[in-house]
Copies of this chain bind each other. A is one copy, B any other.
Amino acid sequence: MNPVLVEVTRGARAESTHRGAAVVVDAGGVVAFAAGNIEVPVYPRSAVKAILALPLVESGAADRLGLTDAEIALACASHGGEPVHVATAESMLRKAGRDATCLECGVHWPLNETAARVLAASGQTATALHNNCSGKHAGFICLACARGEDPAGYVRPEHPTMRVVTAALAEVTGTVLDDTNRAVDGCSIPTYAIPLKALARGFARFGTGQGLARTLADAARRIRAVVTANPFMVGGTGRFDTELMTALGARVFSKGGAEGVFCAALPQLGFGIAVKADDGAGRAAQVMTAALVERFLRPSGEACALLTRLAQPVLRNWNGIAVGELRPCGPLQRPGTR
C-alpha cells in the first residue's frame, strides 16, 4: 500500500489525495530517498524518451544526417505541437530523406491549446507532426535511414531499429525487456514495465555516465547538453519539464510520461529520480518530482520560487480565485509547511 504523497485541497479540506511511490538513488544503487513500493514495475511511457534517443547519437546517425542540437532535443520531447516543434520534426525527416507520411505515431491536435486554436483558425487540421511524440518518431526514422534500414514498421518491437532502441533502454536500466513485460504505448511503440528503482538508477547512470560504456556515456552527456540548451524543444510553453530545465539548467534533467510517471537526473549530485502516481495523475507526479528536486538541489533565487510554484501550486478557478492547492505530504512534505 503506497502512502498518500500529494493532497489536493479546496477550502479547509483535502478534496482529493494521490498515493504513489518515489525513489532517489545513485548509479551504484544506493537509495537516498524512498516512499512506497519502489520495486513495482511501471511502464515508463514517455519518461524514457531521452534514453530511447541514445542510439541516434551513439551510433553517429545524428551526425551523419547533420541533425542540429534542437533536432536532437526534439527526439527526447513530449512537445506541445507549437510551430517550432512541427518545423523541427519536419526538418529531421527531410534530413533522413523522408516526410511526415513515414510517421507511425498517429495524429492528435497540439497539446498546447493556443497552438491548437491557431491551427484551427487558419483552416488547417492536425497531422502526425503535431503529435507530442513526432520528434521521437522522427528520430527513430533518422536512425533507421542512417543505418540503411527501411523505416516502415519501426514502431514494432521486432523492427531492427526498435531492437537497437530497446537494447539501449535495457542497458541503461539494467533490466530484461521482452514480451513478458511489454505493452503498447500511446504512440504505438513498445513500452516495458520496469521496476521504479531500476528506472531511477538508469537516470542516475544517464546523468553521470557511471556504469555505462564510454560511447553510451558520451551520448548521454551530449543529449543532456542539447536538452539543457534547448529546453523549449522537449516540451514547450508552460510545460513542466521546460519550466524546470529553463530555471535550473544542467543541474536537472527531467522528463514526464503518461499515467503519472516522471523520471529525472540530478547530475551534479549523482542521483536519479523516478516517481509513479498510483492513479496515473500527471498533476501528482509533477508535484512529487518538484518536491524531490527541491529537497535535493535546494535552489535559491528565481529557481527556488519556481520550485515552490511547481511543488505546491495554487489552484485557481475560472475567475482566478484561489480555491485550494496541490501539496506534497507524508514523506514528501516540504520543510516548514503543515
Within 8 Å CB of A117, what residues of B?
Answer: 109, 116-117, 120
* Chain A interface, number of residues (Cβ within 8 angstroms): 52
Neighbouring B residues of A320 by C-beta, 8 Å: 106
B16 contacts A259, CB within 8 Å? yes
Partner-contacting stretch, out of A91-99, A207-215, A275-283: A275-283
Q: Which of A146-154, A163-171, A178-186 contacts B (4 or more CB under 8 A)?
A: A178-186
- 19 more A-B residue pairs beyond the given contacts A10-B191, A15-B183, A281-B281, with a C-beta to C-beta distance below 8 A: A1-B1, A10-B184, A11-B183, A11-B193, A13-B41, A16-B280, A17-B278, A17-B279, A18-B279, A19-B278, A19-B279, A104-B319, A105-B318, A117-B117, A118-B120, A185-B317, A186-B317, A187-B317, A187-B319
* B318 and A187 form a contact (CB under 8 A): yes
Point out the residues of chain B lying under 8 angstroms from A284, CB to CB.
Answer: 279
Q: Check A158 for interface membership: any CB of B closer than 8 A.
A: no
Is A289 part of the binding interface, using a Cβ–Cβ cutoff of 8 Å? no
Partner of A113, one of B12, B17, B109: B109
Question: Do A184 and B323 contact each other (CB < 8 Å), given the known contacts A259-B8, A318-B105?
Answer: yes
A116 to B118, CA, bound (A): 11
Residues in A181-200 with C-beta less than 8 Å from chain B: 182-188, 191, 193
Any chain B CB within 8 A of the CB of A121? yes
Within 8 A of B (CB), among A69-101: none
7 A-B residue pairings within 8 Å (CB atoms): A8-B259, A15-B280, A106-B320, A116-B120, A131-B318, A185-B317, A279-B281
A238 CB-CB contact with B under 8 Å: no
Residue of B nearest to A318 (CB): B106
Q: Which of B277, B279, B319 contacts A188 (CB 8 A)?
A: B319
Write the chain B residue with the least CB distance to A105. B318
Min Cβ gap A160→B in Å is 21
Given contacts A187-B317, A259-B8, contact A193 B13 (CB under 8 A): yes
- A132's nearest neighbour on chain B, judged by CB, is B318
- A279 contact set on B, CB distance < 8 A: 16-19, 277-279, 281, 284
Q: Decide yes or no whether A262 CB sits under 8 A from chain B.
A: no
In contact, A15 and B323 (Cβ under 8 angstroms): no
- Counting every copy of the chain, the complex holds 2
Judge whether A16 and B104 touch: CB under 8 Å: no
By the criterion CB–CB under 8 Å, are A317 and B188 in contact?
yes
Known: A113-B109, A121-B121, A188-B321. A280 touches B8 (CB 8 A): yes
Contacts of A336 in B (CB 8 A): none
Residue A303 is within 8 A (CB to CB) of chain B in the complex: no
User: A43 contacts which chain B residues (CB < 8 A)?
Assistant: 10, 13, 15
A127 nearest CB across to chain B (Å): 12
Q: Does A301 contact B (CB under 8 A)?
A: no
Minimal beta-carbon separation of A80 from chain B (angstroms): 16
Q: Which of A43, A107, A259, A318 has the largest number of chain B CB atoms within 10 A?
A: A318
A222 interface hit (Cβ, 8 Å): no
Asked if A236 is at the interface of the complex by the 8 Å CB criterion, the answer is no
Residues of B within 8 A of A324 (CB): 183
In the A-B complex, the 5 residue pairs with the smallest Cβ-Cβ separation, listed nearest first, are: A106-B318, A11-B183, A16-B280, A117-B120, A279-B279
